[in-house]
Amino acid sequence: MNIIKSGTFIDKGGFFPLALKHKDKVFVFCRTGAGHLGKDGKITTLVSVDGINWEIRSCVGKDGSDIRNPSAFIFPDGKILLAAYRYDVYDKNGLSAPAEHKAPHFHDTLIYTSGDEGFTWTELHADFSRVTAKIGKVSPHGAMFMYNNQLLMPAYCREGAFLLGTKDKGLSWEVYTQIGEAGMQEPYVIETPDNDLLAIMRTSDKNREKASVISRFTGKEWTEPELITGSMQHPANFLQLLDGSIILSYSDRNYDNQRILQKLSKDGGRTWGNEWQLGESFNDCDFGYPSTVEIEPEKLLTVFYVNKIENPYFFFGNRDFYTTEHVKGYYYIYKIK
């Protein structure tokens, strides 16, 4: 693996980035306007041709609301469908306090569309009634993709990890399939070269170590999730390369050696090669959420965020998690062969 260039794509923002490639441009959708937690969070669109020079297009959000967790799809004609999650469970002091509210923990999934590559956005006011009636309100996560003539979006809630489907370009949604049981979060799903679905999720229930697990869907049911990373190595991102192999990128969030790790599969995700580290290590940060695209054959771009706060240990009352002062979005451009 040979790193060609590294740097930052945004300052005072960049949480939970999602990178997508469309024609000659790379689009990154990420959280700005507030910290890991906090009101006034928005989803900002950035665009680059070379992965080095970035243009901030515009953002979507609602004043006083916490908007986070982008999911997106770019249609062949360049139209963008963007989903995000509105989380407004905050007390009078602006601290996240889900236990104090009777409303569902996950409030709303918002859907936006852009016909000019992210310069302007229109909210669709999509219908999620069939989803909420079945599993409650959900948060999107990761890239949407086309499968069996409909657009699928990974999502999760208290009931587990799911794929939601739309046949009308985001106007209405329903549950397509459940990927993982309660406790599985932040799913990322791709279609493999042999038309299976491959999913990776974070385990978050009290009976398991936080890590990433992988599951396969062959058209009838999902296989039993198998551990694919070590403790505190999550969340993860898949990308199918132009040569058909699949690269897995994930965060090692152990505080004494935080880094981006990767593995490669040449058989559709059934087996994986040895793990390697991408770039430098960090310590005691709020960190991770890598997302990878292939700029050109065998030349990759991975984006992630690093939030160098004084107290990186997550809890709802930690004020360091509500500021953007020390967060940046980072990138690596590299070749793996």
List the domain range (segments joined by +) for residue 329.
2-335
Distances in whole angstroms, Cα of residue 246 to Cα of each of 64, 118, 150, 292: 40, 28, 23, 11
Starting from the edge strand earliest in sequence, which strands make up the sheet with 276-282, in order? Answer: 233-240, 246-252, 258-265, 276-282
pLDDT at residue number 287: 94
pLDDT at residue number 310: 81
Per-residue burial over 34-47, b if 16 or more Cβ lie within 10 Å, else e, is bbbbbbbbbbbbbb
CATH of the domain at 94: 2.120.10.10
Reading the block at residue 254, the tokens are 């152990």
Question: Residues near 181 by Cβ (< 8 Å), separated by ≥ 6?
Answer: 160
| Cβ proximity of 16 and 29 under 8 Å | no
Label residue 274 exposed, middle or buried (CB < 10 Å: 0-12, 13-18, 19+).
exposed
pLDDT at residue number 13: 97
- Nearest CA to 8 among 46, 60, 57? 46
Q: What is the pTM of this model?
A: 0.96
Q: Which residue has the tokens 């908007």?
A: 67
Whole-angstrom Cα distance, residue 176 to residue 150?
Answer: 10
Whole-angstrom Cα distance, residue 147 to residue 62?
Answer: 31
Displacement of CA 73 from its chain's centroid (Å): 12
pLDDT at residue number 153: 98
pLDDT at residue number 124: 96
Q: Could you give phi then psi for residue 34, rounded to 5 degrees?
A: -155, 170
Whole-angstrom Cα distance, residue 157 to residue 138?
Answer: 5
Q: What is the CA radius of gyration of the chain?
A: 18
Helices (H) and strands (E) in the chain, counts: 1, 25
| Cβ proximity of 33 and 304 under 8 Å | no
The total number of structural domains in the chain stands at 1
3-class SS letters over 253-272: CCCCCEEEEEEEECCCCCCC
| Cβ proximity of 211 and 231 under 8 Å | yes
Whole-angstrom Cα distance, residue 244 to residue 325?
Answer: 40
Task: List the pLDDT tens digit at each of the 337 positions of the chain.
Answer: 899 999 999 999 999 999 999 999 999 999 999 999 998 999 999 999 999 999 999 999 988 889 999 999 999 999 999 999 998 888 888 888 766 554 445 578 999 999 999 999 999 999 999 999 999 999 999 999 999 999 999 999 989 999 999 999 999 999 999 999 998 999 999 999 999 999 999 997 555 567 899 999 988 899 999 999 998 999 999 999 999 999 999 999 998 899 999 999 999 999 999 999 999 999 999 999 999 999 999 999 999 999 998 888 777 778 889 999 999 999 999 998 7
| Cβ proximity of 260 and 276 under 8 Å | no
Cα angle 169-173-179, degrees, rounded to a multiple of 5 = 115
Three-state DSSP state, 133 = helix
